[in-house]
C-alpha cells in the first residue's frame, strides 16, 4: 500500500459482516421482529447515547468499568450498555403517555468495552422484549413469554432446545427457611454458577460466605430435585406451609406451568429447573434460561425473568414487568461458526437481468414489471462478456438469470434460467413471473437455521 493511505480497518471486537452474512443476520432480525409483532409488541428505538447520570443511576462497579463514557462540551454522556435501563427511563419519562400493560420489543446495538475475545463483541445487538404493568401485571404474561421464546427459535428453525424455568421466590423462600436471609444475593449468585463449576467448588464458595455444611447440603439437595416438571411441582408442595414467599413462588410456578400447556408449547421444549437462579438481583419471580440440548457449552441463548419494579431509580410508580433478552450478535456468531445457518436465498436479488443488446430499453421495462410483482430484480448494466455477467449471478447467489436478446425483444418473451438446476426456458413474461415467484416463495418458507442438515461438521 502506498504511503498516505490509511489502513481501512475496523475496531477490534466490532462485528462487521460480509454481504452474504449480513443477509443472514438480517433475516434472523426479521424473523424475531415478526414473532414479537405477532404478540402485539410495539417496536421501540431509544438513543444510543444517554446522560451518564440517567444510565448509571443504578449501575454497579462492573458496569462502570465496561462502559463507553465521555464528555461532549459539558455534557457527561454514556453509550447504552443494555436495553433495559433505557426502557426504564423511557417508561418513567413517558408514563402519562403510555397505555399499560406496555409491550415493547427493541433490537438494537449496545456497547461494552469488555476485553475482546472470540464470540464476544464490544458492539453487539440485543433483542429484548418486555411487558410492563402499571402497579400490577398478571402472572399469565410469564407463561406467554415462554410461548414467545419457543416461537422465536422454532421459526428460526431450531427444534432441539429447552426453555428452563424457575421462580426466584422459591429460592429466596428456601434461603429464608435455612436462615440465610442476610446472604441471599451472594448465595443466589453462587447457585447461578452451579452448571459451570464443580460440586466441590460450589460448596467451597458457599462456605466462604459462611454457609454451614448442613445449609450447603440442604441447598444442594433442593436444587437437585429431579423428575419431570409435574413431579417437581409435587415435590415442591411438600416444602410448603413454612414460608410465605416460598409458597407464593410455588403457586406462581404452578400457574405459569399450567398456562404454558394452553399455549401449545411442545413439552420437550420447556422444563422446570430449580437450579436456575439468574445472577441479576432485580429478578423477583419467574426466571428463564434457554439452552441448546446438543450444545450446553454455549450457555443460555435467551434469558430473562419477572421483576417487581422496572424504574425505581426514576419514579415512585410501581412498574412490575417480565422480559427476556437474546444476545443476537453472539448467537449469530456461534451458529454461523458451526455452519448452522443456511444459505437460503441469500442473494441480493431473485433475478439478474442480462441484456444481450446494446439498447437496454426492453431490459429496463421488464425489470419494472418484475419489481411490481415483488420480485427483487437487478439488471447487469456493465459492458462485460456474457460469461462475466453469469458469473456475477453465481457469485452473488442470485437464483434466476433472465436473458434478453434480439429474439426475446422481437417475440416479446423472456429466456429464464434457473442457475441452480440449469433449467432454461423461453416464456411469456407472465409465465416466467409465476415460475420465479413459486420458486422464491418456496425458498422463503425454508428456515434460516438448519441444524439437522448443516453443510459441514463442526
Footprint on residues 296-325 left by its own copies (CB under 8 A): 311, 313-316
Judged by DSSP in three states, 149 sits in: helix
**What radius of gyration, in Å, describes the C-alpha atoms of the chain?**
27
CB of 200 to its own copies, least distance (A): 37
Question: Do the Cβ atoms of 247 and 173 come closer than 8 Å?
Answer: yes
Helices assigned H by DSSP within 321-425? 328-337, 361-372, 386-395, 406-411
Judged by DSSP in three states, 417 sits in: strand
Find the binding residues for its own copies in span 263-282 (CB under 8 A): 263-264
List the one residue from 3, 53, 266, 458 that touches its own copies (CB under 8 A).
53
List the one residue from 11, 387, 422, 456 that touches its own copies (CB under 8 A).
11
376 binds its own copies (CB under 8 A): yes
Choices 9-17, 159-167, 182-190, 197-205; region in contact with its own copies by CB under 8 A = 9-17
Choices 42-50, 193-201, 233-241, 425-433; region in contact with its own copies by CB under 8 A = 42-50
* Dihedrals phi, psi of 395, to nearest 5 degrees: -70, -25
Separation of alpha carbons 85 and 93, rounded Å:
12
Separation of alpha carbons 34 and 288, rounded Å:
22
Separation of alpha carbons 140 and 145, rounded Å:
9
* Dihedrals phi, psi of 216, to nearest 5 degrees: -55, -50
Find the binding residues for its own copies in span 230-259 (CB under 8 A): 259
Question: Do the Cβ atoms of 63 and 52 come closer than 8 Å?
Answer: no
List the one residue from 365, 424, 434, 442 that touches its own copies (CB under 8 A).
365
* Dihedrals phi, psi of 341, to nearest 5 degrees: -100, 125
Find the binding residues for its own copies in span 68-127 (CB under 8 A): 68, 70-73, 75, 77, 88-90, 92-94, 97-99, 101-104, 109, 111, 113, 123
Find the binding residues for its own copies in span 19-38 (CB under 8 A): 19, 22-23, 25-26, 37-38
Choices 196-204, 389-397, 425-433, 440-448; region in contact with its own copies by CB under 8 A = 389-397
Which letter, b or e, does each residue of 72-86 get, where b requires 16 or more Cβ atoms within 10 Å of its Cβ?
Answer: eeeeebbbbbbbbbb
CB of 197 to its own copies, least distance (A): 31
9 binds its own copies (CB under 8 A): yes
Find the binding residues for its own copies in span 395-414 (CB under 8 A): 395-396
340 binds its own copies (CB under 8 A): no
Amino acid at each position: 500500500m502506498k504511503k498516505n493511505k490509511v489502513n481501512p480497518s475496523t475496531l477490534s471486537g466490532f462485528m462487521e459482516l460480509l454481504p452474504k452474512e449480513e443477509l443472514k443476520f438480517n433475516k434472523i432480525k426479521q424473523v424475531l421482529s415478526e414473532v414479537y409483532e405477532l404478540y402485539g409488541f410495539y417496536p421501540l428505538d431509544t438513543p444510543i447515547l444517554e446522560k451518564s447520570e440517567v444510565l448509571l443511576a443504578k449501575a454497579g462497579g462492573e458496569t462502570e468499568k465496561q462502559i463507553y463514557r465521555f464528555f461532549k462540551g459539558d455534557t457527561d454522556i454514556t453509550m447504552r450498555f443494555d436495553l433495559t435501563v433505557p426502557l426504564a427511563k423511557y417508561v418513567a419519562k413517558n408514563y402519562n403517555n403510555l397505555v399499560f400493560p406496555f409491550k415493547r420489543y427493541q433490537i438494537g446495538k449496545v456497547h461494552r468495552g469488555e476485553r475482546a475475545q472470540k464470540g464476544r463483541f464490544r458492539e453487539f445487538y440485543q433483542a429484548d422484549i418486555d411487558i410492563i404493568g402499571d402497579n400490577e401485571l398478571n402472572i399469565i404474561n410469564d407463561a406467554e413469554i415462554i410461548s414467545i421464546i419457543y416461537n422465536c427459535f422454532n421459526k428460526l428453525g431450531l427444534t432441539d432446545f429447552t426453555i428452563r424455568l424457575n421462580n426466584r421466590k422459591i429460592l429466596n423462600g428456601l434461603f429464608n427457611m435455612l436462615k440465610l436471609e442476610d446472604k441471599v444475593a451472594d448465595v443466589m449468585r453462587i447457585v447461578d454458577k452451579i452448571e459451570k463449576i464443580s460440586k466441590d467448588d460450589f460448596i467451597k464458595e458457599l462456605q466462604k460466605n459462611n454457609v454451614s455444611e448442613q445449609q450447603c447440603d440442604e441447598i444442594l439437595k433442593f436444587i437437585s430435585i429431579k423428575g419431570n416438571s409435574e413431579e417437581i411441582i409435587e415435590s415442591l408442595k411438600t416444602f410448603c406451609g413454612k414460608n410465605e414467599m416460598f409458597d407464593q413462588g410455588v403457586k406462581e410456578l404452578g400457574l405459569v406451568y399450567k398456562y404454558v400447556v394452553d399455549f401449545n408449547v411442545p413439552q420437550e421444549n420447556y422444563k422446570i429447573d430449580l437450579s436456575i437462579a439468574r445472577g441479576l438481583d432485580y429478578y423477583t419471580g419467574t426466571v428463564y434460561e434457554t439452552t441448546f440440548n446438543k450444545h450446553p457449552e454455549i450457555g443460555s441463548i435467551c434469558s430473562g425473568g419477572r421483576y417487581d419494579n422496572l424504574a425505581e431509580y426514576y419514579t415512585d410508580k410501581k412498574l412490575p414487568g417480565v422480559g427476556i433478552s437474546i444476545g443476537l450478535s453472539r448467537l449469530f456468531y456461534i451458529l454461523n461458526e458451526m455452519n448452522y445457518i443456511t444459505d437460503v436465498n441469500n442473494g441480493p436479488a431473485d433475478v439478474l437481468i442480462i441484456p444481450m443488446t446494446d439498447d437496454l430499453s426492453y431490459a429496463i421495462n421488464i425489470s419494472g414489471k418484475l419489481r411490481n410483482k415483488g420480485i427483487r430484480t437487478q439488471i447487469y448494466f456493465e459492458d462485460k462478456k456474457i460469461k462475466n455477467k453469469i458469473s456475477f449471478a453465481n457469485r452473488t447467489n442470485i437464483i434466476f438469470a433472465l436473458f434478453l436478446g434480439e429474439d426475446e425483444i422481437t417475440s416479446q418473451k423472456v429466456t429464464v434460467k434457473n442457475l441452480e438446476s440449469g433449467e432454461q426456458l423461453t416464456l411469456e413474461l407472465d409465465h416466467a413471473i409465476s415460475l420465479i415467484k413459486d420458486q422464491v416463495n418456496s425458498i422463503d418458507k425454508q428456515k434460516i437455521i438448519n441444524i439437522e442438515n448443516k453443510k459441514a461438521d463442526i
